[in-house]
Chain A
Amino acid sequence: MAQSFVNKSMFALAAAAMAFGGFAGSAQAQREPAYDAARKAGQVGEKMDGYLGIVGASTPELERIVKDINIKRRAVYTERASAKRSTIEEYAFTSGCLAIAATVPGEKYQAPDGSWQTRTSAPPVRDSRCAAA
C-alpha cells in the first residue's frame, strides 16, 4: 500500500516535471547556458559555504550569474532549513559539502584552506565535517 503510494506519487511527480519541462523534452531543469559555460571554464566554483564564487578575474557578467544563482540557492536553503529546523548556514554548508562532492573534473571548488582547487578524478579535498554528507 505504502509502496503503491510512493510509486503513484513518483509517477505524478514525473508527469508534473514532464509537463513543466514542456517542449524542452527534459524532465529536469537544466543549468542556464551562461552558468554552465562559466562552470566548465572554471570561472566560477563551489564554495564551502554552499554558495557559488567567482574564481580569478571578475566581470559584470560573472557577477550577474553568481548573484542570480546565489539568491536562488539562498531562497531554497532558507525554506529547507526552516523545514529541518536548522540554521540557513548549517543547511547551506551541508549543501556545499554535497555540491563540492558533485563537481566534475575541470570544475573549481574551494578547499578547506580557502584556496580554489580544480577538481580531478580524485575525490575533492573537503572539510572534515563533510564526511557524513
Chain B
Amino acid sequence: MTISKLTLSTHAARPAEQRGRQVYGVRRKLAVPVLLLGAAMLSGCVTVNAPSEPIVIELNINITAEVVYRLAEDAGNTIEENADIF
C-alpha cells in the first residue's frame, strides 16, 4: 500500500516512483534533441577533397596598365638576367 502525503496544491501529491518517472520523462524529452544534435554533428563533418588542379585566385583585376608600364623595363631586365627560369 502506498502512502501519499496530502498537500494544499490542486494536485494530489504523488508517490516517489511516479515523481521519479516524471523526472525521467523530462530527461527522455531532452535526450531526443541531444541525440539529434549528435547525429547532426557526425553527419555535419564536411569532407573536403583537395582538388588536383591548383586553386587560382585572380588578383589581376587590381593591376592597372600604368603599373605595368612602370614595371615593364625592370621586368624585362629581370627576365633576361634569369633566362634559365623563363
Residues of A within 8 A of B (CB): 28-32, 48-49, 58, 69, 72-73, 76, 80, 83-84, 86, 89-91, 93-95, 97-99, 102, 127-133
Contact residues, B22-50 vs A (CB, 8 A): none
Complex Cα spacing A94 to B82, Å = 15
Least CB separation from A70: chain B residue: B85
| B75 with A94: CB separation less than 8 A | yes
Complex Cα spacing A99 to B72, Å = 11
Interface size class of B (residues with CB under 8 A): 20 to 34
Q: Are A133 and B63 also in contact (CB < 8 A) when A30-B83, A30-B84 are?
A: no
Residues of B within 8 A of A (CB): 52, 56, 59-60, 62-72, 74-76, 78-79, 82-86
| B71 with A129: CB separation less than 8 A | no
Secondary structure call for the B interface: helix
| B83 with A95: CB separation less than 8 A | no
Find chain B residues with CB under 8 A from A76 CB.
78, 82, 85
Complex Cα spacing A123 to B85, Å = 22
Least CB separation from A131: chain B residue: B65
Interface pairs A-B: 10 shortest CB-CB = A132-B69, A29-B84, A133-B72, A94-B71, A129-B65, A94-B75, A95-B75, A72-B85, A89-B59, A94-B68
Find chain A residues with CB under 8 A from B84 CB.
29-32
Find chain A residues with CB under 8 A from B60 CB.
48-49, 89, 93, 127
| B65 with A102: CB separation less than 8 A | no
Q: Are A132 and B63 also in contact (CB < 8 A) when A30-B83, A58-B52, A80-B78 are?
A: no
Complex Cα spacing A3 to B32, Å = 88
Least CB separation from A128: chain B residue: B65
